[in-house]
Structure 1
Amino acid sequence: MSLRHNLRVVRAVAAVDVRLTLREPLFAIAGIIIPINFLLLFLLFAISGGQAPIAVVMKTQGPLAGQFVQAMNNSQSFIIHTASPADAEREIRAGTVVAVVTVPQDFDAALNAGRRVDIPVELNNLNVDFTNDIRRAVPLSITSFYATAFPEQVVVKAVESDVQEHDTGYIPYLAVSIVVAGLMLAALLQGSVNAARDYELGTIKELALAPVSRLAIGLGKILGAAALTAASAILVLGVVILVIGVQPLHPLEVLGFGLLVIAAFLALGVLVGTLVRRRQQAIPLSIACVLPLFFLSGPFGPANWLGEVPGAIAAVSPLTYAIAAFQHAFHGFQTATQDLTVDTMVLAGFTLLTVALTALVFGRRGVGH
């Protein structure tokens, strides 16, 4: 068959999918809303879990006491507010703060006289992550404060040499990773739902009996789902860029890798829909695929930091390469040992492989069950 004929087949299959999707807006809306909910859920988790809320009881207003509280602020490990002793005690009993740090009345006088100062820290050790944050960050704050207030007495000093040109906050880093997961989920949902719908409505019989290329059918299914996936992608990126304020350093990379990620997981979605053939099964299966891949692909830091076994699993996950590519597009740094060329090749190869598998499965299973 000629290339022109195959292109007409791709266009026709895509147009049919778009029309059928618009006739059933519930599934279309689900494919847009679920990725946005996914993004907001993980961002709320990150915002609530990034820094430990603590209350500081100031029994003195001396300059050294103020410097100490500032050192705690600079540690970027706390959300600090001052409170009276009674209010602080109520807050820790109610669970609204993780710790109460009390700056004693003789803080300035004792330090100026060279005497030891004990800083009471009342800790709610219910959550081990927050507990460890407090146990690490309070001593670090004391060391940082002392090095600033009495530099002549601190003879050991760390000299930092940064690998990256700039620091990146926890929320901006995680937000970019969640963008990739949101694109993946949107593409999986649209691709799998559109493919499974053909079996439910019986339209797959027309495609199977038509004298057309199976590859052209697979490409048409992918393009048909791409429109709504693009709408979801624009919403996800809009939230990250306009609401959270994470601006991409390389917008063209965001566009290019975004299209590549959508194509890769649309292809996987079409394969899933072809295998399960029911939308009620395709939707939960698509969602179930996202979570383990997301957590095993280095969303909180480079995948190389995960350890030997998780790192080996991450190495075969296409989401790992997508996250690395998007981190470079937004923040300008490379989080993996491979470069952007390898990221591109892996995602493109994954797309071609899933399209070929979809054509193979469709060709062997036909329209029967």
Structure 2
Amino acid sequence: MGLRAAFHIMRNDLRLNLVAPFATLLSLIVPINFLFLFVLFAVGGAKVPVGVVMSGHGTYDASFLHALQSALTFHIHNVPSSAAGQGLIQRHQSVATIQIPRGFSTAIKNHQSTSIPLTLNNLNADFADDVRRAMPLAILNFYHNVFPSAIPFDWQEVDTYAHNVTFLGYLSVSIQTVALLIGGLLFGGRGAAREWELGTMKELMLAPIPSWSVVLGKLAAGMVNGIASAALIFLVLLLLGLRPLFWAQFLAVTLVTLFVFISLGVAIGSIAKSQFIVTPFAFALGLPLFFISGAFGPISWSTPAAAAIARVFPVAYANAAFQHAVHGYWPIDTTPVWLWSILLGWAAFALAASWLAYHRAAAKH
């Protein structure tokens, strides 16, 4: 009886979601909008635009230009004069103008001192500091390539991982986490609150069915909607060229994380009893947690206070597990066993919270 009732409650919720698919559309639009903004941010902000004036055409002029290009910081625009470079700065199309002066190659060849004028737009401290850090690196690379004997040391890079993870690749995986976070809260919360708004919750309370079947039906409906939403977001990741290295882990963390937030959503919906409260609350709770949970890098790279707060919530652990499943590295100082223990502990806590919230709400009626 209880399982059959839960099935009918789930089916009714799914039917209502098709009639009024607000939560479904919102759970899709927000993560995809985030991904679109992050793509623009990653593509547009990866390198600093600078103008380079080549006053001469000597051998060392070209070598220094190559050193600038190899600094992994500059997006170079070749400009004919300092005035043209200044024009780019004034039109906010460039952060700096670097002038390789006339006679640069001759001075280097004769071991004479020379200077490279740098006009810097220091309005944005981050971009300005990128230029300040990259210029000494470019000079070092120039001398290392042209006069290797002039530098009495060399460097050797030892990579921790077999491949690099791009900023966009990291952010794109984090989108899956925010999709589960916001989608779960919306699906669970709006599904529970809707019954109170329509008055059908009283009918369910008076029906000869166990109370746990109501919670189970809501959770099952939320899981079906959430899995469909997560699958669509995952298709976007596939279009970006991302493929999980560990499929079983990817699917497992998807299901566990979705269950956690759907259960918490059911609890919030039972307490609020209003979809108009659930929706802003889902964003007010979800977005700050997402941004401090390692969406842009390991949480240990942030401030100690932010990292400590992030460790309290399951989002940081879910995102770390997603990053490992897709990219193959472990971006959190927590063992896999402890991480899964935390996620499963949160699942148990969220399930208990959904049941207690519904039970207390029903007891008042």
Partners of 2:46 and 2:221 in 1: CA distance: 40
1:218 and 2:215 matched: yes
Check conservation: 2:171, 2:296, Cα contact below 8 A: yes
1:152 and 2:146 matched: no
1:281 and 2:271 matched: no
Distance change (3 Å), C-alpha of 1:49 and 1:307 = same
Moved more, 221-230 or 94-103: 221-230
Partners of 1:143 and 1:20 in 2: CA distance: 65
Q: Which of 57, 68, 72 is residue 61 of structure 1 equivalent to?
A: 57
Unpaired runs of 5+ in structure 1? none
2:249 aligned partner, one-letter code: E
Check conservation: 1:257, 1:326, Cα contact below 8 A: yes
1:72 aligns to what? 68
Partners of 2:309 and 2:339 in 1: CA distance: 16
Check conservation: 1:35, 1:186, Cα contact below 8 A: no
Deviations 1:188-208 (A, max 9, x none): 222222122111111221222
Partners of 2:238 and 2:325 in 1: CA distance: 13
1:271 aligns to what? 267
Distance change (3 Å), C-alpha of 1:328 and 1:95 = same
2:241 aligns to what? 245
Q: Offset of 1:213 from its aligned partner? A: 4.0
Aligned length: 364
1:13 aligns to what? 9
2:334 aligns to what? 338
Partners of 1:294 and 1:224 in 2: CA distance: 24
Task: Look up the SS of the partner of 2:33 in the other structure.
Answer: helix
Distance change (3 Å), C-alpha of 1:28 and 1:306 = closer
Moved more, 289-298 or 68-77: 68-77
Over 6 Å off, 4+ runs: none
Check conservation: 2:52, 2:97, Cα contact below 8 A: yes
2:10 aligned partner, one-letter code: A
Check conservation: 1:189, 1:286, Cα contact below 8 A: yes
* TM score, norm. by length of structure 2: 0.92
Q: Which of 36, 40, 48 is residue 36 of structure 2 equivalent to?
A: 40
Task: Look up the SS of the partner of 1:35 in the other structure.
Answer: helix
Q: Offset of 1:368 from its aligned partner? A: 5.0
Q: Offset of 1:293 from its aligned partner? A: 0.7
Partners of 1:79 and 1:47 in 2: CA distance: 11
Partners of 1:348 and 1:357 in 2: CA distance: 14
Q: Offset of 1:60 from its aligned partner? A: 2.8
Q: Which of 163, 167, 172 is residue 164 of structure 2 equivalent to?
A: 167
Distance change (3 Å), C-alpha of 1:155 and 1:284 = same
Task: Look up the SS of the partner of 1:56 in the other structure.
Answer: strand
Distance change (3 Å), C-alpha of 1:147 and 1:276 = same
1:179 aligns to what? 176
Partners of 1:8 and 1:116 in 2: CA distance: 86
Check conservation: 1:198, 1:204, Cα contact below 8 A: yes
Partners of 1:326 and 1:241 in 2: CA distance: 14
2:90 aligns to what? 93
Deviations 1:314-345 (A, max 9, x none): 21121110111011111101111223333322
Partners of 2:142 and 2:217 in 1: CA distance: 63
1:110 aligns to what? 107
1:300 aligns to what? 296
Check conservation: 1:193, 1:273, Cα contact below 8 A: yes
Deviations 1:203-257 (A, max 9, x none): 2212223344444322321221223322322232222221x33333223322222
Partners of 1:158 and 1:216 in 2: CA distance: 65
1:122 aligns to what? 119
Check conservation: 1:199, 1:367, Cα contact below 8 A: no
1:205 aligned partner, one-letter code: K
Q: Offset of 1:309 from its aligned partner? A: 1.8
Check conservation: 2:181, 2:261, Cα contact below 8 A: yes
The within-5 A match list for 1:182-197 is 182-197=179-194
2:150 aligned partner, one-letter code: Q
Unpaired runs of 5+ in structure 2? none
Q: Which of 70, 79, 85 is residue 83 of structure 1 equivalent to?
A: 79
Task: Look up the SS of the partner of 2:185 in the other structure.
Answer: helix
1:258 and 2:254 matched: yes
1:254 aligned partner, one-letter code: F
Deviations 1:70-128 (A, max 9, x none): 33333322222222224322211011221222222222222222222322221111111
Partners of 1:260 and 1:72 in 2: CA distance: 47
Task: Look up the SS of the partner of 1:366 in the other structure.
Answer: helix
* TM score, norm. by length of structure 1: 0.91
Deviations 1:271-318 (A, max 9, x none): 222222211121111112122112221222211222322221121121
Moved more, 80-89 or 11-20: 80-89
Q: Offset of 1:58 from its aligned partner? A: 2.0
